[in-house]
Structure 1
């Protein structure tokens, strides 16, 4: 029996195909990468790219994210422990989608992957442009992706970030 992720896009449920398509998910990871790289001056750690989608595509977690990147990460994680309890499982479930998005970005030279992590590629996505047709929910998700990049840039080592959220690197 085929995995749901090995189905062609035409065979996937329409809602799933629309929300979890590689272009959109790749845009979200690219937004986090861009803001992380801008603030930190370093590549975005690859392991952190796998928690971007599980954090911002889960409506309750998205709603609980802070409004500012200078919010204390450990305090926020402790206050939102119940939301983060299933983050490891969500991360595993969305791992194929994250991989597909990363592959999409690499194939289009929007991101490059090096030993130190992800960097904006030769043909970066035009992230400042606001799409002509968008919804408030999608705009909130896009803003949250950039926020995660800035927030992660203000934290310690990636392993500490992941462990604080209960995800094993």
Structure 2
């Protein structure tokens, strides 16, 4: 048990707040929103590496609020303007990697997504997304909106290597 992160613990042993915020159903919904928007914009599979930047960008309040309001914002310019905010992104991606994996597995098991050699696609049983669920908070609505925005925005970018490099992630 020594050296294990809370993400490696059984659900019953995880801190309650962490289990609530990082559960695979909620995080999976966020990933699905990004994949769905990516697919609608580009008609391509979302490269798998992109899925690992979604949660670290949308779940962190400061980073989420730094995201542009529109998907046609120049990516390199935005990244340069937000260099300080993005400087901790690679570490956050590594720390949330187990959450992303667990969420992708959850979505895949429920056939909401498919993962193939070209990336992630909407699966045979996609999640039905409503504009705004009846019981939600403004912050959760903001997180959901940001996930969709990232899907649209990333669909307008070059390959994953260039995007990840701009985010400061070594490939």
Range class of TM-score, shorter chain = over 0.9
User: Residues 8-157 of structure 1: matches in 2 within 5 Å?
Assistant: 8-128=10-130, 130-157=132-159
Question: 2:169 is matched with which residue?
Answer: 167
Q: Deviations over 1:56-80 (max 9, x none)?
A: 1111000111100000000000000
Residue 127 of structure 1 aligns to a residue in which SS? coil
1:129 deviates by 5.2
Q: Secondary structure at the match of 2:127?
A: coil
TM-superposed deviation, 1:168? 2.0
Secondary structure of the 1:92 match is helix
Q: Could you state the TM-score of these two structures normalised by the residue count of structure 1? A: 0.97
Take 2:119 and 2:129, find their aligned partners in 1: how far apart are those partners?
A: 20
- Measure, in 2, the Cα distance between the counterparts of 1:20 and 1:129: 22
Deviates more, 1:72-81 or 1:128-137: 128-137
Tell me how many residue pairs correspond in the alignment: 169
| Alignment RMSD (CA, Å) | 1.0
- Offset of 1:6 from its aligned partner? 2.1
Shifted more, 136-145 versus 13-22: the winner is 13-22
Give the Å deviation of 1:130.
Answer: 3.0
Question: Which runs of 5 or more residues in structure 1 are unaligned?
Answer: none
Unaligned runs of 5+ in 2: none
Partner SS for 1:112: strand
Deviation of 1:8 after TM superposition, in Å, equals: 1.7
In 2, Cα distance between the equivalents of 1:78 and 1:110?
Answer: 35
